[in-house]
Structure 1
């Protein structure tokens, strides 16, 4: 834990001449053409990739070593890859073993399966197929068993544990490798499911209403705002649980009274939310980036992700693994995401965002922004769902071509957090979720094929 205080794409257009023959002597009039059917919005359109700010693109270039064109292409490719991976996860069912993107522009999506008969359907979607021995469900279950016995000194000796979809194993990063092997034995897990890596990292929370802005707890220690939220008529922000307990008061700029923690969980999870007083207004902005939050669609493993915090500002990297367990001195946190983004004390609670999509709040890590490091974030969607919060986003995307007047809406509801594979009804049809997100007006299932697939 650390405590302290798009659209840059180019397009070329060719002019095409048209010869109008209708009405000329000796020529037949051209038959009227039917109007083209409306084109379904792409994943990049749905997720607002074209609205990426120049500041975000420059940070990606600096931290990921890519060109401006690659940064722009990367965001578009990652949006498309997330939708494709969701469709394949739903189609493969129990055979699914994970998915990830790679390449400077994230142009290659790999989808893993345990069944060779799935290869054709994966490649038909434009993805690379990889046949592996273990399903994602088996690996997640193995990690859960290890977490159950990882307590006390055994946990601190193996502080980081995650499912690595690239290697198709549960990875244990251990200060003492012998302790990792003991955990595997105690959990009753087959050694073939596990890979042990020696590590000297000792993660800790990043202690010490615009995302990334500083706030102070009881006027002293400093953390960072995650994302602006509302709960009914109450405004506030999401942040890390280790920053404060329910009732802890907060101040903002120049120690101006701000609000208080309404709920907090730490360890176990690293979630909290602060209700602010009437002088503070929730906005979709993220400090230091020019970014505005448009939604909370979860990015894929391998995707680019950027972080804003009150100590080190704006930094970028990639998502290494979802569903990671990490043990801090205070206890174990489960379900966080591991990244290559750097962070330092005071960045805790701050915004993690991919393109315009909120990903999570900064939890902890190791290293710093001089030598580099590993940082973990608490995913935003479980936080929103757990506390009944609504993410503050840019604007209502507007009505789409969904059900007409009087048609039933079904079980889909704006404000609900949906995970990949979730099933809803809308307008008399059934849909399955492709990518985890919090639903919002304009994202009704018929309108956004990047997020929902008709069952």
Structure 2
């Protein structure tokens, strides 16, 4: 149950043709030309404006990036197959607009380049790096360690430590253990991550008790959101205070996802709200954006902001416990944005979990990938 004007604008909006990719230096070889020129890619003007604001791009650069990302997303599965067991990960080189595939065997380079992707020789395969990260996942982490993830560009597992806690004895002991688990690089982060739920305030949110969160994506029969916003069975109220339904499933920590059934006169639509800041966006699928793809977030507190995908399969160490298989972004967020939509073009990506910083001074935000939520509960995304 949403304001009628909001729904109408969402259903009639011109949508961005989705595009996703990965980042990093690439070896030379010609990339295939996109099937559509950057100038002809349809995009809502307000969405392009948000990308210009948050990514520092001109309108032409934003359109060109979207075209590169779309081409790279389509190419990635074929290039990964060509790399075989030598696959070490992938990313988008923002400088060249090229999809780069990391490979551990020089004998696979020609096969990967034949697909149109660039290559980089690395020391460790994706399988080896994932195994090292899994060993770190099994370690108890102190609060001074914020997260860890695989970085395919450096072929290392990156462990992020809160800068003010890096000399703490427990942190140093944890870091020493991670180095025994595999190839590790330690980096610092300004603040510890926190979830983005908030006390009751005005706006257009949903409520569980005295907590305000944001709707993620409509599914047939309800919507998906963050697990820390409410437990299974808890009742949910809408922006107008009327009953929507109940949490049908919820998991946090370990995961941070949930879904709520829709009843009592409410209905679902395949729209991500712009909250009057940008045009509402139709949702047409959930193809996963690669590392370094541009991505935007909608939430009931800070509305619409954009950034880049920084890392995937990151373990985030909240005070309530670790959450696994998260995606890290450069997008800002604040209290009340929890559960809200991360979208790349017209493709659903995930629901806002938490982060550090704010939209005044910057920061980073993690999301739980939407396809994992759909698979976990057997849900079907409501698409246009």
Q: CA deviation at 1:78?
A: 0.8
2:238 is aligned to 252
After the TM superposition, which segments of 4 or more aligned residues of structure 1 sit over 6 Å from their partners?
6-9, 42-45
**Correspondence 1:148 to 2:134:** no
Q: CA deviation at 1:181?
A: 5.1
Match of 2:46 among 24, 38, 55: 55
Long gaps (5+) in structure 2: 1-13, 18-32
**Correspondence 1:283 to 2:263:** no
Post-superposition CA distance 1:59-96 (Å, at most 9, x none): 11111111212222222211210121211112212110
Label 1:181 to 1:164 Cα distance change in 2 as closer, same or farther (>3 A): farther
Q: CA deviation at 1:185?
A: 4.4
**Does the CA contact (< 8 Å) of 1:338 and 1:377 recur in 2?**
yes
Q: CA–CA distance in 2 between the matches of 1:8 and 1:313? A: 18
**Does the CA contact (< 8 Å) of 2:16 and 2:42 recur in 1?**
no
Q: CA–CA distance in 2 between the matches of 1:323 and 1:125? A: 26
Match of 1:160 among 142, 147, 162: 147
Label 1:345 to 1:119 Cα distance change in 2 as closer, same or farther (>3 A): same
Q: CA–CA distance in 2 between the matches of 1:180 and 1:123? A: 42
1:240 is aligned to 226
Question: What is the TM-score normalised by the length of structure 2?
Answer: 0.84
Q: CA deviation at 1:188?
A: 7.2
Long gaps (5+) in structure 1: 1-5, 10-41, 395-455
Q: CA–CA distance in 1 between the matches of 2:155 and 2:142? A: 22
**Correspondence 1:389 to 2:374:** no
Question: What is the TM-score normalised by the length of structure 1?
Answer: 0.71
Q: CA–CA distance in 2 between the matches of 1:301 and 1:116? A: 23
**Does the CA contact (< 8 Å) of 1:55 and 1:290 recur in 2?**
no
Q: CA–CA distance in 1 between the matches of 2:342 and 2:16? A: 22
Cα root mean square deviation, aligned: 2.3
Match of 1:216 among 189, 207, 210: 207
Paired positions, count: 341
Larger radius of gyration: 1
**Stretch moving more, 316-325 or 247-256:** 247-256
Label 1:145 to 1:156 Cα distance change in 2 as closer, same or farther (>3 A): same
**Does the CA contact (< 8 Å) of 1:284 and 1:293 recur in 2?**
yes
